[in-house]
Structure 1
Amino acid sequence: MEPTRIMSRRYKFFSGSLAGVPLHPIFVGISELLVQTIHFGNRKFLRAFELAALSLGVAVTMIPLPARATTNWVSTRTQAFLLSNAPASAGPDAARRYSLNSLSIPALTDTNVTPLELSQPLHITVALKHRNVDQLDRFLRDLNQPGSASYHRYLTPAEFRARFSPTDAQVAAVVAHLKANGFRNVSVSENNMLIFADGNANNVQSAFQTSIKRFNYNGKPVYGNDLSAFVPPSLGSIVDSVLGLQNAVVPHSMLQRFAPEAVIEPNSIEKNTTDASQLVGHQPTDFAKIYDASSLPAATNTTVGIITWGDMTKTIADLNTFTQNAHLPEVNTAVVEDGSGTPVHDTDPTDTDPTEWALDSQVIIGTSGGVKELIFYPAMSGDSYNRVTAATLTAAFNKAVIDNKATIINVSLGTDEDATYSEGALAADDAVFKQAVAQGQIFSVASGDAGAYVGSHTPQGAQGYIGTSDGTSVTTMIDLSKYSVAYPASSPYVVAVGGTMLSTTGTMRWAGETVWNDGADYADRGRNGELVDNAVRIWATGGGVSAYEAAPSWQTAALGSSVTKRVLPDVAFDAARSTGAYIIVNGQKTKSPIGGTSLASPIFVGGWARLESAKNNSLSLPTPAFYENLPGNTALYHDVTSGNNGYDGYGFTAKPGWDMVTGFGSLDFAKISAAIPSWRAQ
Structure 2
Amino acid sequence: MRSLLSLVALSLSLFAAAEPTISPYALHEKRIVLPQGWSYGRKHAAGSALPLRFALTQQNIEEMEKYVMDVSHPHSPNYGKHWSVKDVLEKFSPNRETVKTVHDWLTENGIEKERIRLSPNKGWIEVDATIEEAEALLQTEYSVYSHVSGKEHVGCSEYHLPSHVKRHVDFVTPTVHFDARLTSRSSETTPQTQPQSVIPKSFRGGPKSAGKYAESIVPTDLSTCYEYITPDCLRALYSLNYTPVATADNTYGIVEYTPEAYLQTDLDMFATNFSTDLYGVAPYMVSIDGGYAQTEYQNFSYNGESDLDLEYGMTLVGSEQTVTLYQAGDMVEGASFNNFLDAIDGTYCTFEGGNNYTQDAYYPDPYGGGYEGPQDCGTAKPTNVISTSYAYNEADLTEFYAARQCAEYAKLGLMGVTVLYSSGDYGVAGNDALCLFPNGTQSVNGTLFNPTFPSTCPYVTSVGATMMKPNATVYQYQPEMACEEVIYSGGGFSNYFAMPSYQAEAVEYYLKTYPPDVPSYMYNTSGSRAYPDISANGANYVVAIDGEFELVYGTSCASPVNGAIFTMINDARLAAGKSTIGFINPTIYTTNFAALFNDITLGDNPGCGTDGFNATPGWDPVTGLGTLNFTKLVAAWLELS
**TM-score normalised over the length of structure 2:** 0.70
- What is the Cα deviation at residue 119 of structure 1? 4.8
- What is the CA–CA distance in structure 2 between the aligned matches of 1:307 and 1:197, rounded to whole Å? 30
Local SS of the residue matching 1:496: strand
Matched ranges for 1:292-441 at <5 A:
292-295=239-242, 297=244, 300=247, 301-310=249-258, 314=262, 318-319=266-267, 322-323=270-271, 326-329=275-278, 330=281, 333-337=284-288, 353-370=302-319, 372-380=321-329, 386-389=333-336, 391-392=338-339, 394-395=341-342, 398=345, 402=378, 403-422=380-399, 424-441=400-417
Seen in structure 2, the aligned counterparts of structure 1 residues 613 and 219 have a Cα distance that, compared at 3 Å, is: closer
After alignment, is 175-184 or 290-299 more displaced?
175-184
- What is the Cα deviation at residue 574 of structure 1? 1.5
Local SS of the residue matching 1:497: strand
Match of 2:535 in 1: 572
Match of 1:515 in 2: 482
Match of 2:600 among 624, 630, 639: 639
- In structure 1, list runs of 5 or more residues that go unmatched: 1-67, 84-98, 262-274, 456-461, 467-476, 520-538
Contact 1:408 1:443 in 2 (8 A): yes
Cα deviation code 1:128-187 (max 9, x no counterpart) = 332123444322222223453432211110121122223588558767877975899987
Matched ranges for 1:38-57 at <5 A:
none
Matched ranges for 1:528-607 at <5 A:
539-560=487-508, 564-576=527-539, 579-583=540-544, 585-586=545-546, 588=547, 590-607=548-565
- What is the CA–CA distance in structure 2 between the aligned matches of 1:445 and 1:400, rounded to whole Å? 21
Contact 1:247 1:387 in 2 (8 A): no
After alignment, is 646-655 or 551-560 more displaced?
646-655
- How many residue pairs were aligned? 530
Contact 1:74 1:231 in 2 (8 A): yes
Seen in structure 2, the aligned counterparts of structure 1 residues 677 and 479 have a Cα distance that, compared at 3 Å, is: same
Contact 1:377 1:400 in 2 (8 A): no
Seen in structure 2, the aligned counterparts of structure 1 residues 599 and 492 have a Cα distance that, compared at 3 Å, is: same
Cα deviation code 1:218-263 (max 9, x no counterpart) = 36454464443444556544421224436766662232335379xx
Seen in structure 2, the aligned counterparts of structure 1 residues 380 and 639 have a Cα distance that, compared at 3 Å, is: same
Cα deviation code 1:337-395 (max 9, x no counterpart) = 2x5x99998999xx97132222222221122224654333344479xx83545654553
- What is the CA–CA distance in structure 1 between the aligned matches of 2:569 and 2:106, rounded to whole Å? 45
Which amino acid is 2:46 matched to? L
Match of 1:487 among 432, 437, 453: 453
Seen in structure 2, the aligned counterparts of structure 1 residues 665 and 146 have a Cα distance that, compared at 3 Å, is: closer
Contact 2:258 2:327 in 1 (8 A): yes
Seen in structure 2, the aligned counterparts of structure 1 residues 413 and 219 have a Cα distance that, compared at 3 Å, is: closer
Match of 2:426 in 1: 450
- What is the Cα deviation at residue 199 of structure 1? 5.7
Matched ranges for 1:226-245 at <5 A:
226-232=156-162, 235-245=165-175
- What is the Cα deviation at residue 298 of structure 1? 6.5
Contact 2:491 2:531 in 1 (8 A): yes
Seen in structure 2, the aligned counterparts of structure 1 residues 512 and 496 have a Cα distance that, compared at 3 Å, is: same
- What is the CA–CA distance in structure 2 between the aligned matches of 1:318 and 1:552, rounded to whole Å? 41
Contact 1:410 1:601 in 2 (8 A): yes
- What is the CA–CA distance in structure 2 between the aligned matches of 1:173 and 1:600, rounded to whole Å? 46
After alignment, is 308-317 or 484-493 more displaced?
308-317
Match of 2:351 in 1: none
Aligned: 1:619 with 2:581: yes
- What is the CA–CA distance in structure 2 between the aligned matches of 1:597 and 1:299, rounded to whole Å? 29
Cα deviation code 1:1-31 (max 9, x no counterpart) = xxxxxxxxxxxxxxxxxxxxxxxxxxxxxxx
Seen in structure 2, the aligned counterparts of structure 1 residues 389 and 116 have a Cα distance that, compared at 3 Å, is: farther
Contact 2:467 2:483 in 1 (8 A): yes
Contact 2:177 2:397 in 1 (8 A): no
Local SS of the residue matching 2:536: strand
Which amino acid is 1:541 matched to? S
- What is the CA–CA distance in structure 2 between the aligned matches of 1:609 and 1:503, rounded to whole Å? 27
Local SS of the residue matching 2:89: helix
Match of 2:203 in 1: 252
Local SS of the residue matching 2:30: coil
Match of 1:674 in 2: 635
Which amino acid is 2:226 matched to? L
Cα deviation code 1:66-116 (max 9, x no counterpart) = xx998634655xx333x3xxxxxxxxxxxxxxx32x5xxx798xx665322
Seen in structure 2, the aligned counterparts of structure 1 residues 499 and 194 have a Cα distance that, compared at 3 Å, is: farther
Which amino acid is 2:468 matched to? L
Match of 2:24 in 1: 72
Which amino acid is 2:387 matched to? N
Seen in structure 2, the aligned counterparts of structure 1 residues 178 and 335 have a Cα distance that, compared at 3 Å, is: farther
Contact 1:344 1:380 in 2 (8 A): no
Contact 1:485 1:543 in 2 (8 A): yes
Seen in structure 2, the aligned counterparts of structure 1 residues 611 and 677 have a Cα distance that, compared at 3 Å, is: closer
Local SS of the residue matching 2:158: coil
Seen in structure 2, the aligned counterparts of structure 1 residues 623 and 112 have a Cα distance that, compared at 3 Å, is: closer
- What is the CA–CA distance in structure 2 between the aligned matches of 1:496 and 1:135, rounded to whole Å? 22
Which amino acid is 1:257 matched to? K
- What is the Cα deviation at residue 593 of structure 1? 1.9
Contact 1:280 1:507 in 2 (8 A): no
- What is the Cα deviation at residue 642 of structure 1? 2.3
Larger radius of gyration: 1
After alignment, is 145-154 or 429-438 more displaced?
145-154
Contact 2:541 2:557 in 1 (8 A): yes
Which amino acid is 1:624 matched to? P
Contact 1:500 1:573 in 2 (8 A): yes
**TM-score normalised over the length of structure 1:** 0.66
Seen in structure 2, the aligned counterparts of structure 1 residues 361 and 343 have a Cα distance that, compared at 3 Å, is: closer
Local SS of the residue matching 2:506: helix
Which amino acid is 1:557 matched to? E
- What is the CA–CA distance in structure 1 between the aligned matches of 2:608 and 2:384, rounded to whole Å? 38
Local SS of the residue matching 1:594: strand
Match of 1:267 in 2: none
Cα deviation code 1:297-316 (max 9, x no counterpart) = 36724212223222687556
Seen in structure 2, the aligned counterparts of structure 1 residues 196 and 69 have a Cα distance that, compared at 3 Å, is: closer
Matched ranges for 1:655-674 at <5 A:
655-674=616-635
- What is the CA–CA distance in structure 1 between the aligned matches of 2:291 and 2:104, rounded to whole Å? 24
Local SS of the residue matching 1:353: helix
Which amino acid is 2:253 matched to? G
Contact 1:217 1:248 in 2 (8 A): no
- What is the CA–CA distance in structure 2 between the aligned matches of 1:183 and 1:345, rounded to whole Å? 42
- What is the CA–CA distance in structure 1 between the aligned matches of 2:231 and 2:64, rounded to whole Å? 39
- What is the CA–CA distance in structure 2 between the aligned matches of 1:287 and 1:299, rounded to whole Å? 22
